[in-house]
Amino acid sequence: MRTIGHFIGGKTVAGGSGRTAPVFDPNTGEVQAEVALASKAEVEAAIQNAAEAQPAWAATNPQRRARVMMKFVQLLNDHMDELAELLASEHGKTVPDAKGDVQRGLEVVEFSIGIPHLLKGEYTDGAGPGIDMYSMRQPLGVVAGITPFNFPAMIPMWKFAPAIASGNAFILKPSERDPSVPMRLAELMMEAGLPAGILNVVNGDKEAVDTVLTDPRVMALGFVGSSSIAEYVYSTAAAHGKRAQCFGGAKNHMIIMPDADMEQAANALIGAGYGSAGERCMAISVAVPVGEQTAETLMKTLVPKVQALKIGLSSDHEADYGPMVTKAALDRVKGYVDLGVEEGAELVVDGRDFKMQGYENGFFMGGCLFNRVTPDMRIYKEEIFGPVLSVVRAQDYEEAVRLPNDHEYGNGVAIFTRDGDAARDFAARVNVGMVGVNVPIPVPLAYYTFGGWKRSGFGDLNQHGPDAVRFYTKTKTVTSRWPSGIKDSAEFVIPTMG
């Protein structure tokens, strides 16, 4: 059986802890590999390796660092099919969806090529008599990322690309459920010309996470996962003097106004709600039709589309979505559907008993659709993270706005309407970090920034875009005077520039 170790010091190394975790084939339910779980000592060795390599990398001029990213982009394009197939084989998302995963990460790498411009400081000539003032952005040192199973290519690249381009060394702790793509990305970074030790990958569990959180050599870290763990990571990192950007769960609403094109809205819900088996932090999980007539029209349009969803193998390019990542994930989602029925929601489409012929042990689940869900139900309050869509009927626009505003999560939200005034008002008033207007999954492009509000995000700086450069660097401000011909005397008042 294949064994997956770690990537430390520019090469693959075997795990030494004696502990492993299974990596499943979601299509068959069988174990396809074992991944090593790093001990505290192994993580510390990776951090030491990074700490030793980082000063020389920081001293490398930004343009040369950017050239590594340029070569990495080329390699990502060259290996796109390989990466997508590897990703799909461990995660379960279809190969076309996996290519999107890689592509959205690649776009942040492309953004990182331009980081030399964003690293420029400011300069004021003659800020005072004979005084010049300037600032510079400098890397933090060793930084880290703890990334989730649902985007094993995109989110690691969102983290390490801007961090490394800014002159830092990076420790990546990816999900142990689908670790092969992060390992392959590290190999491609070396092929692109990255010095050994600047990107280290340590596979592991809580022991590895806690080591990264408490080691004083790690100056900052990013996390994506559940809100409870995000809060733990953020508070622990802060207690140890580290910067942290931690992103958690979501319950993304899509408001459907009476004037919306129902066919367009239903198609948007199908793709955003069921794509990748709903295992996306930006998936739409709550549809909010405004008015009873809107709700009835939407349901008539939506139900046959959910019933017609094509579930297939991750290698099936024609499938709408593939299996879920593990049996534990599948059982958890089925449990939420059971709960919704117990709570009194109307289960209009039930996908719990779906089986893929010839792959009965795979982690497949059909699409589920709940109608008449109410805000007091747990299936509305909690993140399900599966192919389950809940319809919550709002009597009017104000009630529709209150639903996402009052929810504890604030990751993404969308409104479908032909009314520009309504869309503008909604975008201004909704208490959510990312808003789509007739766009169901409003993930910003790489040169903007990605981040949720409320319990969807902890920390004041977001992922990618200019915020990434701010997060992975520190600002130093220099006040300079060359007093040739100036007579000095002691001054006992606070300096001014007058």
Check: CB of residue 222 under 8 Å from CB of residue 246. Answer: yes
Bridge partners for 137 per DSSP: 475
Strands 284-289 and 388-391: parallel
Alpha helices in 9-145 (DSSP H): 40-59, 62-78, 80-91, 95-113, 115-118
Bridge partners for 245 per DSSP: 222
Q: Kindly calculate the radius of gyration of the chain based on its CA atoms and give it in whole angstroms.
A: 25
Catalytic residues: 281
CA nearest to 204, candidates 43, 13, 23: 43
CA nearest to 400, candidates 273, 253, 285, 283: 253
Q: Find tokens 């030399």 and name the residue.
A: 116
CA distance 153 to 185: 8
DSSP sequence for 344-407? T-EEEE--TT--BTTBTTS-----EEEES--TTSHHHHS---SSEEEE--BSSHHHHHHHHHHS
CA distance 197 to 47: 9
Calculate the alpha carbon distances from 54 to 49, 88, 194, 220 in Å: 9, 33, 11, 14
Bridge partners for 3 per DSSP: 34
For residue 78, the one-letter residue type is: D
Check: CB of residue 124 under 8 Å from CB of residue 134. Answer: yes
* DSSP 8-class letter at 291: S
Q: How far, rounded to the nearest angstrom, does the alpha carbon of residue 257 sit from its chain's CA centroid?
A: 29
Q: In which order are the strands placed within the sheet that holds 123-128?
A: 123-128, 131-139, 473-481
CA dihedral 201, 207, 209, 214 (to 10 degrees): -110
First to last CA, the chain: 74
